[in-house]
Chains A and B, each alone.
Chain A
Amino acid sequence: DQQVKQNSPSLSVQEGRISILNCDYTNSMFDYFLWYKKYPAEGPTFLISISSIKDKNEDGRFTVFLNKSAKHLSLHIVPSQPGDSAVYFCAASDPGTYKYIFGTGTRLKVLA
């Protein structure tokens, strides 16, 4: 049972345009959502997060939107840069168990 899903395994975007990465979840008890960036053979790097009591959080070029009624979150990267090319994981945390459940990742390729 995949509680956190990233249905797009890959995404290609032109440099300077917007990248939108999507994530869906099933457990309404999740209270915190995070996005990580990962390069091959390295540990994931934290990008941005959002609490379940908010619907938007912004940090520089990165914005995360949360739609609780749809159990959906998205990460917007504007403008996209070639250095943003990596695999992006969304994650959700369960406050009752302190578990963090990750999606399967979306590989973003930003074309110069």
Chain B
Amino acid sequence: NAGVTQTPKFQVLKTGQSMTLQCAQDMNHEYMSWYRQDPGMGLRLIHYSVGAGITDQGEVPNGYNVSRSTTEDFPLRLLSAAPSQTSVYFCASRPGQGAKGGKTQYFGPGTRLLVL
């Protein structure tokens, strides 16, 4: 059972480049989220999904796009990278509302992104 996986582990981009951060979970969780972690600011929610085909914005969505075509995958796209997007990105998933342990989130190992 792999849990939540993320790729790549580390990426360097130039300003203006685009890329996709991959996230997959094999626990059949309904809910998935993307967070960014910055020093002194904790984790901030970027986008989330409550099921396949359904996504919504979190606290800091600007500059990021997401889609959820399957239950397993929830990629995060940076359309035109900016230095302000230098951060560590975490994907997380949890079971659906009403499921046992439904409020406990499971996190991936993170992707470190550096935008020059």
Query: Do A and B come from the same complex?
Result: no
Show the binding face of B for A, using Cβ within 8 Å: none
